[in-house]
Amino acid sequence: MLLVKQELLAALANTLESLSPGAGSKAAFESPKVAAHGDFASTAAMQLAKPLQRKPRELAEQLAAALQATPAFARWVDAIEIAGPGFLNIRLKTAARQQVVREVLEAGPAFGSQPAREDRVLVEFVSANPTGPLHVGHGRQAALGDAICNLLATQGDKVWREFYYNDAGVQIQTLATSTQLRAKGFKPGDPEWPEQAYNGEYIADIAADFKAKKTVRSDDREYTASGDVEDIDSIRQFAVAYLRHEQDLDLKAFQVKFDNYYLESSLYTSGRVAATVQKLIDAGKTYELDGALWLKSTDYGDDKDRVMRKGDGTYTYFVPDVAYHIAKWERGFHQVVNIQGTDHHGTIARVRAGLQAAGVGIPAGYPDYVLHTMVRVVRGGEEVKISKRAGSYVTLRDLIEWTSTDAVRFFLLSRKPDTEYTFDIDLALAQNNDNPVYYVQYAHARICSVLAAWGGDAASLEGVDLSPLESPASQALLLQLAKYPAMLTAAAKDFAPHDVTFYLRELAASYHSYYDAERILVDDEPVKLARLALVAATARVLHNGLAVLGVSAPQKM
């Protein structure tokens, strides 16, 4: 129905232009608030009434008559109804609604996607400290980031996935100290064990491998342990490489890949942090007080000024963030999306303030943020709070092993990011309609089974006569298929992959209703082929939507 909409939109634009020069550029269709009112709606008459000094409803009648006289409206539109003060409700002919099947089958994997464009977008997500296994919160972030990247790609953007490694600071030193103590034979609960040390069993694993002088390999490094328990620098490097390797395995199991890994430590070794601080000083956006260097962040809407450099000479954690985002801008990424936990909410204002104060041409509101809440895990009606391996939380690997990658991805994407979410393990394992990912995947598998039973060439369905698709059940399914491209565009604009999960559940429900209402493999050949084309198109859209989420579309279940 994309072609139909484009032709009708062009006709509307030309008609508006004839009524008021310049008005054609504002031609647009809306979706009626009530589906029964029609397929498209237009408020053009009400928008033009005042500048043309006309009564809206009178202008709407003139506009409707002019539109009905155009070839596009004559071909595709059944009726134009005027409602209220001048709304135009446009009702399509059945043949127009049927066109979506042909469009889906012809476009295949590209259905719903927009042509490639030059816009480059960097999406930073996961960015976990290499101090422990990835937890379920990281899993939610990985699912969100990957799906948002896929959504942006459907709109033609060139997307760059980046992982920012916090490999500098107090937490890394705590990791090294914890590993050293384990290597020396101490354990949690001993008098020598610090309160702030990491307690998970993974620390004992690292210590044992360090003493065994093992070699670990991660995405960008290889390191062999010295085995000397007094060599804290070697312990630190080995522990970081070890955990980066572990996180790589977690992400591989979750089928998430990155284009680049950016090291926080590189911001210091390259001089970027020092250069950024100097930019802010030179711009007159800092001052010294009580032995500390402060940023005038209140000049940019922050609720108070922020310390940049403490009295001991170390920088507060938002300073390297500012340097990092200047680097993103200088690398040519003029749209950046950061996926982070809600605990980072307080850093947004100060990072943006620092970027504005630096005076390097970065616009206000850069970067975009998507904040997500943590995840509760429930099994047998009771919350699961710890992992045997991590000691204090459920890991992403636990969740995948307990259920599946598909279930974890779909479930973690099924709510708005800032909405609290409870992951029900029992539900994720259930093979019934209450399990949303099973429900959607089963719809796809069910269609594949029908197509296999038919045994014909699916490519031959592209040119079949679609006129038999007139029943209420088939019309409802056609309507759902037609919604897919606009849904993708809106979801990408709002960074909202949960909209894709909602859509897929609705499409699956529409298919299951259609399957129950009409037999597909009937004796009447034209009817059978039309119905096969409809369900093949449905399978394709289910497959495309699941691919956006990073979820498989099985042919058998």
Q: Tell me which amino acid residue 334 is.
A: H
- pLDDT tops 80 at residue 302: yes
Domain assignment present for residue 473? The answer is yes
- pLDDT tops 90 at residue 293: yes
Q: Please enumerate in sequence order all residues whose Cβ is within 8 A of that of 35, keeping only pairs 6 or more positions apart, or say none.
A: 479
The predicted model gives 306-316 an average pLDDT of 94
Q: Please enumerate in sequence order all residues whose Cβ is within 8 A of that of 65, keeping only pairs 6 or more positions apart, or say none.
A: none
Domain assignment present for residue 130? The answer is no
Range of the domain at 452: 433-549
What pLDDT was estimated at residue 392? 74
For the entire predicted model, the pTM comes to: 0.91
What is d(CA 94, CA 464) in angstroms, rounded to the nearest whole number?
16
What is d(CA 489, CA 339) in angstroms, rounded to the nearest whole number?
19
What pLDDT was estimated at residue 166? 86
Q: Tell me which amino acid residue 12 is.
A: L
Compare 119 and 484 and report the one with higher pLDDT: 484
Domain assignment present for residue 151? The answer is no
The predicted model gives 251-276 an average pLDDT of 94
- My answer on whether omega of the bond before 485 falls inside 30° of 0, hence cis, is no
Query: End of a domain among 57, 92, 127?
Result: 92
Domain assignment present for residue 328? The answer is no
| 440 and 542 part of one domain | yes
Query: pLDDT tens, 35-69?
Result: 788 899 999 999 999 999 999 999 999 999 999 99
List the single range of 23-32, 207-216, 317-326 with lowest mean pLDDT.
Answer: 23-32
What is d(CA 61, CA 80) in angstroms, rounded to the nearest whole number?
10
Task: Report how many domains make up the chain.
Answer: 3
CA dihedral 262, 264, 267, 270 (to 10 degrees): -70
455: left (phi over 0), alpha (psi -120 to 50) or beta: left
Domain assignment present for residue 518? The answer is yes
What pLDDT was estimated at residue 388? 62
What pLDDT was estimated at residue 387? 65
- pLDDT tops 80 at residue 309: yes
CATH, residue 441:
1.10.730.10
- pLDDT tops 80 at residue 386: no
Domain assignment present for residue 441? The answer is yes
Domain assignment present for residue 237? The answer is yes
**In the chain, pLDDT over 70 holds for what percent of residues?**
99
Compare 317 and 540 and report the one with higher pLDDT: 540
What pLDDT was estimated at residue 220? 73
Q: Tell me which amino acid residue 467 is.
A: S
CATH, residue 6:
3.30.1360.70
Between vectors from CA 197 to CA 192 and to CA 198, what angle results, nearest 5°?
A: 130
- Proportion of the chain in helix, strand, coil states, percent, rounded to 5: 55, 15, 30
Compare 33 and 44 and report the one with higher pLDDT: 44
What pLDDT was estimated at residue 317? 87
Domain assignment present for residue 398? The answer is no
Query: End of a domain among 208, 243, 278?
Result: 243
Cα 194 to chain center, whole Å? 39
| 441 and 529 part of one domain | yes
What is d(CA 24, CA 13) in angstroms, rounded to the nearest whole number?
4
- pLDDT tops 80 at residue 208: yes
Neighbours of 453 (CB within 10 A): 9
Compare 515 and 167 and report the one with higher pLDDT: 515
CA-based nearest residue to 54, from 63, 41, 42, 65: 63
| 542 and 453 part of one domain | yes
In whole angstroms, how far apart are CA 303 and each of 225, 296, 299, 300, 492?
47, 10, 9, 9, 31
